[in-house]
Amino acid sequence: SLVLDTNVRRVLSRLFAGEQLPPPTLSQGERRAAERWLPDDPGIAATWSVAVMELGALVCTARRPTCGECPVTDLCEWRSRGYPPYAGPARRGQAYAGTDRQCRGRILSLLRDADAPVSHEAVTLVWDEGDQRQRALASLIDDGLVVETEEGVALPSALRTSAVAPLRWEESPGVPTSPSRRR
């Protein structure tokens, strides 16, 4: 399923629309455009989603992107246009601390660092608020980014390897190699 968090929206906006930031609110047009880039295979789509989230969180950041470390810099429309600044309406900053997004990130970080499925009890250690933790975990499962096993929860087997390093866009099966090749 399509994951369009803040990081994914920013990466796709820069990579394909050539804009520093996406619009403040998600539109149906932006959702349709993002769906064209999502691989058809659910396992590959989950890997792709995690990779793009990580790319946005670690490399293609909002304030200080490190384009020299980006594995898809040669495909980046924002770069090819000379990094034009955001020209849209004023953006309200969203607090990160305490959000479901932060909770999801902590759960994913725990699972990325694990060599085996993680018990539900261990997941409770990364976030105190039980209802929010359960909601975040359920949304990760619904998005196909986490799977439940007999032992607890884990990243899908396709995600066991590092999702970002080495991400080679052109070698990812089912992913178009350039913005002109759309479904």
The 10s digit of each residue's pLDDT in 99-127 is: 898 999 899 989 988 988 999 999 999 99
User: Do 109 and 153 belong together in one domain?
Assistant: yes
User: Do 35 and 106 belong together in one domain?
Assistant: no
CATH number at residue 41: 1.10.1670.10
What's the CA gap between 111 and 117, in Å, rounded?
7
Note down the domain range covering 48: 6-85+162-171
Quick check: is 52 in a domain?
yes
Cβ–Cβ under 8 Å, residues 168 and 71: yes
- The reported pTM is 0.60
User: Do 64 and 110 belong together in one domain?
Assistant: no
Quick check: is 134 in a domain?
yes
In tens, the pLDDT along 142-176 reads: 888 899 988 899 988 644 543 433 333 444 444 44
Quick check: is 138 in a domain?
yes
Q: How many folded domains does the chain comprise?
A: 2
CATH number at residue 120: 1.10.10
